[in-house]
Amino acid sequence: MLIALSLVANLALAQEGYAPQRPVTDPLDATREARVQELGKHLRCAVCQGVSIADSPASMARAQLDKVRELVAQGKTDEEIYAYFVERYGEWALMEPKKSGVTLGLWVFPLLLLAVGLYVIWLQSKKGPTPAPPVSEEPKSEPSTDEYLAKVRADLEK
């Protein structure tokens, strides 16, 4: 009797600070349920840190997944289902930013930088190694006006 009372008390304490378990929703048929799970992997859980609603054990994530289930059951398209969450949380709701509009830059910019880098490397390799600067010849001595030097030269030529 005492053990049973203790268990009840512990369960009551365990509930403090946590959301109690919510009723589980019945899955759809196999094909549609697979689509629900796939869509859930692309949608961010609103109360978690970087986890999709399909991967999160949070009760709120399961509520969001239930919403996906409801929208799939209504025959909504993938785009309409994503739009439902984007309308509330913006593109933050998507695990990956959309490949259109401003966010297209996030996908294109790194590829563009890579392409520019490869182009520069190709240009450099096409030019070949830079030739070494030519060895400079001895500078020709200017005719000297030195009288002594002129005399020496004259003596040598004799």
Could you tell me the smallest distance in angstroms from the CB atom of residue 34 to another protein? 22
Of residues 61-80, those binding another protein (CB under 8 A) = 63-64, 66-67, 70
The number of residues that bind another protein (CB under 8 A) is: 25
Nearer to another protein, 21 or 100 (CB): 21
Contact assessment for residue 65 and residue 53, using Cβ atoms and an 8 Å cutoff = yes
Nearer to another protein, 89 or 122 (CB): 89
Could you tell me the smallest distance in angstroms from the CB atom of residue 85 to another protein? 9
Of residues 35-54, those binding another protein (CB under 8 A) = 46-47, 49
| The one-letter amino acid at 60 | M
Could you tell me the smallest distance in angstroms from the CB atom of residue 71 to another protein? 11
Question: Which residues, including other chains, have CB under 8 Å from residue 48's CB and lie 6 or more apart?
Answer: 56, 58, 61
Contact assessment for residue 24 and residue 7, using Cβ atoms and an 8 Å cutoff = no
Residue 37 DSSP symbol: H
Angle at 102 between CA 99 and CA 106, to 5 degrees: 60
Residue 94's SS3 state is: strand
98 binds another protein (CB under 8 A): no
Pick from 8, 9, 19, 121 the residue near another protein by CB under 8 A: 19
Contact assessment for residue 53 and residue 63, using Cβ atoms and an 8 Å cutoff = no
Chain residues binding another protein by CB under 8 A are: 15-20, 22-23, 25, 46-47, 49, 59-60, 63-64, 66-67, 70, 86-90, 92
